[in-house]
């Protein structure tokens, strides 16, 4: 195991089993701090130089986004774009027939699925399926990426539900929630690239996952903003990505940014280690009133988080 990794794992040898020499601990701490500084500088340089690469989505997702951004398109065109990808077609039909979308009479073809769910919902699901398959591709980080995916999907579902409760414009709600943390999986991929490059050029090795918490805290919002621009996402979706921790209440005409912020906080609360305490904090802070989202019931929203998570994960399993 390399020195930098030892600094994180505590695997360095000690004079006696289970006992650290103070000088060894200090040396390992300094090595770890130096490694973190090196990584932070590289990520900062990559952001400034616009070298951060977004997850490479299947072309069907980006093609469908481009097609539906134009008001003049026909249903057969939508079907034509999707049917070229058999995996996404099969996955889309599975979700269309799940409890997540009501599970009415079974649909067996794309045309029927588009007609039942509507083009915007189909676009959202295709993007979600493509996003999931892309970030879960790396087997080594599958557990971490799965956690990020489940949070993103739950947040997307709750965002849409909040928008529906308030009868607001839902055209970008789901994708805004799905992609609010896009900076996180992007950073994981970037750290993997940095690790390979440092090992190749300087024979420095480190385990990317050991530095994920610091990188997420420092950079995920900035990196998410870059990806939103690179993918040419609608302005409201880019705002949701950039403001999901601090929404601009005076510049959110559709309510989408506020809904993403609330959905993100509720999902973290309900799915976190101390849900009751977190939910009580949200209530004490007067988040619903401050966001001016109207007479939403916090207890009802918490139930929706739990229901949305269960149905969404089952549909996309």
Residue 283 lies in a domain: yes
Residue 301 lies in a domain: yes
pTM of the full predicted structure? 0.86
The domain in which residue 220 lies consists of: 3-9+38-55+139-316
Residue 107 lies in a domain: no
Q: What is the 3-state secondary structure (H, E, C) of the chain?
A: CCHHHHHHHCCCCCCECCECCHHHHHHHHHHHHHHHHHHHHHHHHHHHCCCCCCCCCCHHHHHHHHHHCCCCCCHHHHHHHHCCCHHHHHHHHHHHCCHHHCCCCCCCCHHHHHHHHCHHHHHHHHHHHHHHHHHCCCHHHHHHHHHHHHHHHHHHHHHHHHHHHCCCCCCCHHHHHHCCCCHHHHHHHHHHHHHHHHHHHHCCCCCHHHHHHHHHHHHHHHHHHHHHHHCCCCHHHHHHHHHCCCCCCCCCCCCHHHHHHHHHHHHHHHHCCCHHHHHHHHHHHCHHHHCCCCCCCHHHHHHHHHHHHHHHHHHHC
Please report, in tens digits, the pLDDT of each residue of the chain (317 residues total): 444 444 454 444 445 555 556 677 777 778 788 889 999 999 999 999 989 988 888 999 999 998 988 778 899 999 999 999 999 999 999 988 888 877 667 888 999 889 888 899 999 999 999 999 999 988 889 999 999 999 999 999 999 989 988 888 888 999 999 999 999 999 999 999 999 988 888 888 888 889 999 999 999 999 999 999 999 899 999 999 999 999 998 888 889 999 999 999 999 999 888 888 988 888 888 888 888 776 678 888 888 888 888 888 888 87
| pLDDT value of residue 126 | 94
Residue 47 lies in a domain: yes
d(CA 276, CA 210): 29
How many domains in the chain? Answer: 1
Residue 224 lies in a domain: yes
Q: What is the CATH number of the domain that holds 201?
A: 1.10.3210
Residue 186 lies in a domain: yes
Using a pLDDT cut of 70, give the percent of the chain over it. Answer: 91
Residue 296 lies in a domain: yes
Residue 161 lies in a domain: yes
Tens digits of per-residue pLDDT, 81-96? Answer: 999 999 999 999 998 8
């Amino acid at each position: 195991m390399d020195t930098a990794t030892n600094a994180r794992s505590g695997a360095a040898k000690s004079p006696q089993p289970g006992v650290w020499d103070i000088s060894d601990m200090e040396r390992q701490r300094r090595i770890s701090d130096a490694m973190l500084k090196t990584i932070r500088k590289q990520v900062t340089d990559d952001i400034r130089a616009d070298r951060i690469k977004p997850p490479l989505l299947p072309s069907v997702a980006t093609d469908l986004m481009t097609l539906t951004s134009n008001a003049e398109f026909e249903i057969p065109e939508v079907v034509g774009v999707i049917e070229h990808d058999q995996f996404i077609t099969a996955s889309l039909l599975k979700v269309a027939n799940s409890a997540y979308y009501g599970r009415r009479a079974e649909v067996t073809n794309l045309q029927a699925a588009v007609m039942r769910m509507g083009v915007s919902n189909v676009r959202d699901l295709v993007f979600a399926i493509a996003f999931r398959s892309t970030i879960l591709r790396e087997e080594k980080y599958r557990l971490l990426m799965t956690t990020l995916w489940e949070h993103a999907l739950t947040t997307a579902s709750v965002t849409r539900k909040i928008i529906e409760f308030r009868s607001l414009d839902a055209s970008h709600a789901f994708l805004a929630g799905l992609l609010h943390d896009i900076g996180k999986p992007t950073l994981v991929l970037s750290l993997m690239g940095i690790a390979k490059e440092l090992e190749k050029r300087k024979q420095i090795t480190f385990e990317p996952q050991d530095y994920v918490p610091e990188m997420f805290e420092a950079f995920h919002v900035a990196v998410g903003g870059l990806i939103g621009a690179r993918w040419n996402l609608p302005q409201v979706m880019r705002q949701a990505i950039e403001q999901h921790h601090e929404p601009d209440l005076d510049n959110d005409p559709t309510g989408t940014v506020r809904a993403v912020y609330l959905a993100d906080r509720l999902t973290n609360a309900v799915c976190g280690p101390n849900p009751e305490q977190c939910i009580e904090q949200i209530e004490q802070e007067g988040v619903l009133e401050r966001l001016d989202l109207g007479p939403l019931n916090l207890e009802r929203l918490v139930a929706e988080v739990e229901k949305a998570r269960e149905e969404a994960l089952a549909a996309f399993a």
